[in-house]
């Protein structure tokens, strides 16, 4: 194989782009969040309904849909007293889904890809932090458990399907200006590091 050499200007060009992103971060302020306490009874009524306009009856979904072309940061919170129970339920679901994937494959009806569950539980009031560059409304549905089972998400309605009582969970989201599209994941890193969720892969370590 012939020796490959890279023009130093390529790195200079890339450094300039990184500096532009750093400049945006230096002057960034997270806009106010909007919140919604998950109404499981209302969502259960949607479970058998697949038409898009059924979801449009949900104000939080309508707002997300209106902002589908904007980047966003979102997270799910809970009461600290429910944190370990939630962690164990997600861990159990992750293990069951991993077994189905190994034995029957990802096309099996009972399979759904749960977000990363750490080995050890860390108590807190934040479950998960994420970001989306576009289509936040679709990601919202996936986390609630009404999207494809093969897409990695919390799949909350499936995790709680056999539970008699469901802990209170709140969905929070920040809609960002489109000029922050390229630094959405960097903003997510900062928010995740601050809230320290007990589910999901850490993007930024201290």
Report the pLDDT averaged over residues 138-147.
Answer: 92
Does residue 205 sit within a domain? Answer: no
Q: Give the pLDDT confidence score for residue 203 in this predicted structure.
A: 76
Q: Give the pLDDT confidence score for residue 137 in this predicted structure.
A: 96
Which tens digits make up the pLDDT trace of 24-46? 999 899 999 999 999 988 877 76
Tell me: pLDDT of 181 over 80: yes
For the chain, how many structural domains are there in total?
A: 1
Range of the domain at 53: 31-195
Does residue 90 sit within a domain? Answer: yes
Does residue 21 sit within a domain? Answer: no
Report the alpha-carbon angle 126-34-183, nearest 5: 75
Does residue 105 sit within a domain? Answer: yes
Evaluate if pTM is beyond 0.85.
yes
Which tens digits make up the pLDDT trace of 34-88? 999 999 888 777 666 555 567 888 899 999 999 999 999 999 999 999 999 999 9
Burial of 87 (0-12, 13-18, 19+ CB in 10 A): buried
Does residue 191 sit within a domain? Answer: yes
Does residue 2 sit within a domain? Answer: no
């Amino acid at each position: 194989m012939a020796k490959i050499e890279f023009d130093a200007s390529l790195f200079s060009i890339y450094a300039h782009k990184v500096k532009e992103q750093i400049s945006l971060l230096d002057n960034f302020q997270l806009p106010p969040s909007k919140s919604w306490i998950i109404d499981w009874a209302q969502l259960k009524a949607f479970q058998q309904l697949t038409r898009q306009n059924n979801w449009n009856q949900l104000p939080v979904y309508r707002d997300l849909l209106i902002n589908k072309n904007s980047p966003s940061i979102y997270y799910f919170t809970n009461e600290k007293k429910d944190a370990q129970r939630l962690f164990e339920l997600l861990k159990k679901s992750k293990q069951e889904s991993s077994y189905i994937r190994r034995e029957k494959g990802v096309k099996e009806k009972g399979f759904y890809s749960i977000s990363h569950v750490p080995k050890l539980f860390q108590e807190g009031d934040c479950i998960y932090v994420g970001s989306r560059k576009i289509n936040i409304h679709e990601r919202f549905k996936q986390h609630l458990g009404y999207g494809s089972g093969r897409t990695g998400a919390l799949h909350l309605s499936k995790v709680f399907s056999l539970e008699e009582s469901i802990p209170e969970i709140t969905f929070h989201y920040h809609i960002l200006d489109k000029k922050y599209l390229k630094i959405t994941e960097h903003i997510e890193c900062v928010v995740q590091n601050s809230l320290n969720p007990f589910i999901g892969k850490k993007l930024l370590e201290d």
